[in-house]
């Protein structure tokens, strides 16, 4: 064979191999770009879902008020059944909305634990409030706290660590 034919053949094979390799690299790159785009969209939807969920949590506040589930009156502890039922209904509706799709398994579990605990109390008595013991109050507050911390953990908010000087906080405010 003539050396020009061999050189042409080698050049052709090199071009074909180069084209195949660049095609696979380009395909891999576009797949990664799509996956990153999809992950970002998914995270945006998850963030919106968790923000919406957080907006439903005021009845679970530790501070007793007319709009909280746990209510203190004359040194007695009550579950306000109407508010507890409204809260349980709101989280059920929330879960079956478009936002419920984006909750993690741990948040769903914490949310339904709260709902089950409250349902066990307000389903027994349909009065405006049911007196509970300090132990029951502590148990319910533990469920509320678990829900709050699970949401913050899922979003990575509890993992954020800032140096006081980086965010402009004077050290004297950090002392107990």
Residue 120: which domain range?
A: 39-159
Answer yes or no: is 93 within a domain.
Answer: yes
Residues 6+ apart with CB under 8 A from 147: 57, 60, 107, 110, 111, 113, 114
Answer yes or no: is 59 within a domain.
Answer: yes
What pLDDT was estimated at residue 176?
41
Judged against a pLDDT cut of 90, whether residue 160 lies above it is answered with no
pLDDT tens digit string along 19-63? Answer: 899 888 888 888 888 878 878 888 899 999 999 999 999 999 988
Answer yes or no: is 174 within a domain.
Answer: no
Judged against a pLDDT cut of 80, whether residue 165 lies above it is answered with no
What pLDDT was estimated at residue 175?
46
Answer yes or no: is 14 within a domain.
Answer: no
133 SS3 class: coil
Answer yes or no: is 5 within a domain.
Answer: no
Judged against a pLDDT cut of 90, whether residue 11 lies above it is answered with no
Half-sphere exposure of 102 (CA within 13 A, CB side): 20
Burial code (b: 16+ CB inside 10 Å, e: under 16) for 26-36 equals eeeeeeeeeee
Q: Which helix (H) or strand (E) holds 37?
A: helix 3-54
CA dihedral 157, 159, 165, 169 (to 10 degrees): 40
What pLDDT was estimated at residue 97?
94
Answer yes or no: is 31 within a domain.
Answer: no
pLDDT tens digit string along 62-120? Answer: 888 889 999 998 889 999 999 999 999 999 999 999 999 999 999 999 999 999 999 88
Adjacent-strand bridge partners of 156: none
pLDDT tens digit string along 123-140? Answer: 776 678 888 899 999 999
Q: Is the alpha carbon torsion for 16, 21, 23, 24 positive or negative?
A: positive
Answer yes or no: is 84 within a domain.
Answer: yes
Does this model's pTM top 0.75? My answer is no
Burial class (CB in 10 A: 0-12, 13-18, 19+), 157: exposed
- The total of structural domains in the chain comes to 1
pLDDT tens digit string along 142-157? Answer: 999 999 999 988 887 6
Q: Which residue has the higher pLDDT, 57 or 173?
A: 57
What pLDDT was estimated at residue 174?
44
The angle formed by the CA atoms of residues 10, 16 and 17, to the nearest 5 degrees, is 90
């Amino acid at each position: 064979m003539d050396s020009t034919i061999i050189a042409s053949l080698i050049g052709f094979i090199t071009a074909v191999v180069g084209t195949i390799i660049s095609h696979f690299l380009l395909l891999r790159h576009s797949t990664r770009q799509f996956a990153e785009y999809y992950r970002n969209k998914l995270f945006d939807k998850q963030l919106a879902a968790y923000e919406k969920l957080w907006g439903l949590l005021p009845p679970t506040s530790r501070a007793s008020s007319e709009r909280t589930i746990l209510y203190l009156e004359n040194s007695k502890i009550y579950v306000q059944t109407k508010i507890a039922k409204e809260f349980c209904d709101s989280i059920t509706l929330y879960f079956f909305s478009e936002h419920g799709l984006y909750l993690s398994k741990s948040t769903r579990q914490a949310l339904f634990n709260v709902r089950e605990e409250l349902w066990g109390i307000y389903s027994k008595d349909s009065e405006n409030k049911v007196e509970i013991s300090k132990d029951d109050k502590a148990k319910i507050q533990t469920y509320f706290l678990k829900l709050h911390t699970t949401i913050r953990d899922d979003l990575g908010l509890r993992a954020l660590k800032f140096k006081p000087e980086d965010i402009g906080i004077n050290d004297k405010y950090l002392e107990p």
